[in-house]
């Protein structure tokens, strides 16, 4: 069984640019969540997608947007990058939309550096 | 607004010692509480999930307890090993999102 995979693993961008991060969910998982983890902090919820629809959003501005595809893979897009967007971006998938009975399965993340 | 606090922020112990990591949360209206492990520069690995109706869960040398009314959880690690060195994160599920603490950095010295 293939786990959650994210690409790229590392990325360096300049302030003001746009970035797209990609995630392949674990086989059979129809729910994908994205989290941002700044250095030394716990992950913070960005949003969740279920069957191609956004299903909850955290306290992030609209320049953070996402997509989920019919095969349940997902993208996170960030426009007008700011220095504070530098972080580890984690994708997680689950077979349970409500997350009540199954833990989230996380990928290894994409390390984004904005200069 | 849910807030999760983990104490201590860092812990260094000799190999073989039993240890306890603490987690507290401000809003008891949770569906479950989860403990994760994170190795440097890596993603999170789920260790234990405790439903809000449960008091504890065990997996191997790990035991997690939950006291929802007081907003506390502990992760007990028995007979610690150098391979246990990592950051341990506690998270509570409210709605459809996990709210995480900042983690406890554990170092087990051989």
Tens of pLDDT, residues A66-86:
999 999 999 999 999 999 999
- Residue B83 has phi, psi (to 5 degrees) of -70, -10
CB-nearest partner of A56 from B42, B44, B95: B95
Note whether A41 and A86 are within 8 A (CB): no
How confident is the model at residue A44, as a pLDDT? 98
Q: Is B63 exposed, middle or buried (0-12, 13-18, 19+ CB in 10 A)?
A: middle
Q: What is the mean pLDDT of chain A?
A: 94
Portion 27-86 of A in contact with B at CB < 8 A? 33, 35, 40-45, 48, 55-56, 58
Candidates A41, A48, A100; nearest CB to B97: A48
Gap between the Cα atoms of B67 and B103, Å rounded:
19
How does pLDDT run across B35-78, given as a tens digit for each residue?
Answer: 999 999 889 999 999 999 999 999 999 999 999 999 999 999 99
Q: Which residues of B touch A (CB under 8 A)?
A: 4, 31-32, 34, 36, 41-46, 49, 51, 89, 91, 93, 95-103
What H or E segment, with its residue span, contains residue B74? strand B72-77
For the segment B5-22, what is each residue's pLDDT rounded down to a tens digit? 999 999 999 999 999 999
A9 touches chain B (CB under 8 A): no
Q: Which of A102, A103, A105, A97 is nearest to A55 (CA)?
A: A97
Lowest-confidence segment of A1-10, B65-74, B98-107 by average pLDDT:
A1-10
Indicate the pairing of strand B104-109 with strand B10-14: parallel
Report whether pLDDT(A1) > 70.
Answer: no
What pLDDT, on a 0 to 100 scale, did the predictor assign at position A42? 96
C-alpha distance from A58 to closest chain B C-alpha (Å) = 8
Higher pLDDT, B95 or B51: B51
**pLDDT value at A43 more than 90:** yes
Predicted pLDDT of residue A97: 84
Torsional sign, CA A12, A14, A15, A20:
negative
Instruction: Tell me how crowded residue A30 is: count the other CB atoms within 10 A of its CB.
Output: 16
Among the partner residues A58, A88, A103, nearest to B97 by beta-carbon distance: A58
As given in the structure block, the two tokens for residue B84 are 């246990």
pLDDT of residue A98: 84
Please write the tens of the pLDDT for every residue from A86-110.
999 999 999 988 888 888 999 999 9
């Amino acid at each position: 069984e293939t786990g959650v995979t994210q690409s790229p693993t590392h990325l360096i961008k300049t302030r003001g640019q746009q970035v797209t991060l990609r995630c392949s969910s674990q086989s059979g998982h129809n729910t994908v969540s994205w989290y941002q983890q700044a250095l030394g902090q716990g992950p913070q919820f960005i949003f969740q997608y279920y069957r191609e629809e956004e299903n909850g959003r955290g306290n992030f501005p609209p320049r953070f947007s996402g997509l989920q595809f019919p095969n349940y893979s997902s993208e996170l897009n960030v426009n007008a990058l700011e220095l504070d967007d530098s972080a580890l971006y984690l994708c997680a998938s689950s077979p349970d939309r409500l997350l009540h009975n199954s833990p989230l399965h996380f990928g290894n993340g994409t390390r984004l550096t904005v200069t | 607004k849910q807030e999760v606090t983990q104490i201590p922020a860092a812990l260094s112990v000799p190999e073989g010692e039993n240890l306890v990591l603490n987690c507290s949360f401000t809003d008891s209206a949770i569906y479950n509480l989860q403990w994760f492990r994170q190795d440097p520069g890596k993603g999170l690995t789920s260790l234990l999930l405790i439903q809000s109706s449960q008091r504890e869960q065990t997996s191997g040398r790990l035991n997690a307890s939950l006291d929802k009314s007081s907003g506390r959880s502990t992760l007990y690690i028995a007979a610690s090993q150098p391979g246990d060195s990592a950051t341990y994160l506690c998270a509570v599920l409210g709605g459809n999102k996990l709210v995480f603490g900042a983690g406890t950095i554990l170092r087990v010295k051989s």
